[in-house]
Amino acid sequence: MSATAEDWDARVTRLSERLPERLRKGVDWLREPSRRPLRLIAAILLMLGGVFSILPVLGLWMLPLGLALLAQDVPALKAPMERAAQWIERRCARVVAWWSARRG
């Protein structure tokens, strides 16, 4: 299955709909086109925080979150982010199937 920018946008929309109301409103607010400068700053800060993951509060979780935020404004990142998300879903499904088979 090929990944497109539209697939990534749909995935982000589906995921934001599953968030609690208050958090969803924040994500929707941040995704508005007028918030581009704020998104870019937040994405860069998140990616920098991911690089310094050895520090206690910062972690590798910040790097993909920063890339996902940056993908909102850099269309060339949307398809690779969607492919990565699809790969993670397939890998998780395999692990769950393996675990279920192992547990009997």
pLDDT at 49 (0 to 100): 86
- pTM for the model: 0.81
- Which stretches of the chain are DSSP H helices? 5-17, 21-31, 36-51, 62-71, 78-103
pLDDT tens for the chain, 104 residues: list them.
678 999 999 999 999 999 999 999 998 999 999 999 999 999 999 998 888 877 777 788 888 889 999 999 999 999 999 999 999 999 999 999 999 999 87
Residue 27: CB atoms within 10 A of its CB come to: 15
